[in-house]
């Protein structure tokens, strides 16, 4: 059974801290790994990763994939209260199905 | 931006009643999905569609059926709602086959008493 695991499930930090969110996966056929941010409503797309070792970056957020060890990390530097959200990791397993992890709830305190 | 509208946005119903949730898109995307989101489980796929009248089951399809008679509409039906189907339901469309990006609707919160 395809599975995506995220850790930690919950994290509380203060503004300015750097955080690392983890995502590991076991899927039959891997095509890509995706990160989403979910605030109060719908998840919004952050990154898609397909190749090992190539960092994707957007502002203070960056992510990298290790296809040998089957994991990805999402880094957020200089966190702000606006980064408070649930961060979802998902894997596209070629079956037109995206398998999602349970998410990491990040709370950034002022 | 892909336009997705879900309706109703909120619904309270009783056990045993039928419920239909509607997902409407304005962009003519081929792939559409229904997910449910529950605490501790993340998003789980119920059903998806890859074209008009072409649908397939996801990992939690029991108790749900879908229909897609037009490209723009994807309906999710609970024939006889149960309390375990209390959840937030998200419709999504695949907006870019190259990036794998899913665009989500705003969600429909269903409570089954």
How far is Cα A101 from Cα A66, in angstroms, rounded to an integer? Answer: 17
pLDDT tens, residue by residue, B27-58: 889 999 999 999 878 899 999 999 999 999 99
The beta strands (E) that lie in B1-113 are given as: 4-7, 10-13, 19-25, 32-38, 42-51, 54-57, 64-70, 73-78, 87-96, 101-104, 108-112
CB contact under 8 A, A98 and B102: yes
Kindly give the confidence (pLDDT) of every residue in chain B, 113 residues in length, as a single tens digit, with 9 standing for 90 and above. Answer: 558 999 999 999 999 999 999 999 998 899 999 999 998 788 999 999 999 999 999 989 999 999 999 999 999 999 999 999 999 999 999 877 666 788 999 999 999 99
Confidence of residue A93 (pLDDT cuts 50, 70, 90): confident
CB contact under 8 A, A41 and B45: no
| Residue B49 confidence (pLDDT) | 94
- Residue A81, classed as helix, strand or coil, is helix
- Cα–Cα distances (Å) from B93 to A76, A81, A87, B25, in that order, read 27, 29, 19, 8
| Residue A82 confidence (pLDDT) | 96
Cβ contacts below 8 Å, chain A against chain B, sum to 55
Interface test mutation site (partner A, options B101, B103, B105, B107, max chain A beta carbons within 10 A): B101
Radius of gyration of chain B (CA): 13
Answer whether B1 touches A (CB < 8 Å). Answer: no
Answer whether B9 touches A (CB < 8 Å). Answer: no
Q: Which residues of A touch B103 (CB under 8 A)?
A: 45
Which is nearest to A64 in space by CA: A21, A5, A99?
Answer: A21
Query: CB–CB of A63/A49 below 8 Å?
Result: yes
Q: Is the peptide bond before B8 cis (omega within 30 degrees of 0)?
A: yes
Q: Which residues of B touch A91 (CB under 8 A)?
A: none
Smallest Cβ distance to B105: which of A34, A42, A102? A42
Residue tagged 């990805």 (tokens): A72
Q: Which two tokens mark A91?
A: 């894997």
Answer whether B79 touches A (CB < 8 Å). Answer: no
Calculate mean pLDDT across residues A53-78: 94
Q: Is the peptide bond before B71 cis (omega within 30 degrees of 0)?
A: no
Sheet architecture: strand order including B73-78: B4-7, B19-25, B73-78, B64-70
Which is nearest to A41 in space by CA: B88, B66, B28, B49?
Answer: B88
CB contact under 8 A, B43 and A100: yes
Interface test mutation site (partner B, options A100, A101, A104, A105, max chain B beta carbons within 10 A): A100
DSSP B16: T
CB contact under 8 A, B42 and A31: no
Answer whether residue A53 shows pLDDT above 90. Answer: no
- Residue B67: beta bridge partners? B75
């Amino acid at each position: 059974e395809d599975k995506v695991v995220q850790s930690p499930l919950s994290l509380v930090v203060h503004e300015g801290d750097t955080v690392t969110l983890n995502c590991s996966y076991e899927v039959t056929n891997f095509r890509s790994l995706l990160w989403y941010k979910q605030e109060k409503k719908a998840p919004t797309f952050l990154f898609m990763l397909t190749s090992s070792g190539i960092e994707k970056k957007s502002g203070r957020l960056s992510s990298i994939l290790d296809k040998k060890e089957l994991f990805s990390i999402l880094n957020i530097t200089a966190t702000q209260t606006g980064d408070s959200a649930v961060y979802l990791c998902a894997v596209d397993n070629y079956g037109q199905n995206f398998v999602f992890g349970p998410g990491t709830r990040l709370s950034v305190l002022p | 931006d892909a336009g997705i509208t879900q309706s109703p946005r909120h619904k309270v119903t009783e056990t045993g009643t039928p419920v239909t949730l509607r997902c409407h898109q304005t962009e003519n995307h081929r792939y559409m999905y229904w997910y449910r989101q529950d605490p501790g489980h993340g998003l789980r796929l119920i059903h998806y569609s890859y074209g008009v009248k072409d649908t397939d089951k996801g990992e939690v399809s029991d108790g749900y059926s879908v229909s897609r008679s037009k490209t723009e509409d994807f309906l999710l039906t609970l024939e006889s709602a149960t309390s375990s189907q209390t959840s937030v339901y998200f419709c999504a469309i695949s907006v870019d086959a190259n990036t794998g990006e899913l665009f989500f609707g705003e969600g429909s919160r269903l409570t089954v008493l």
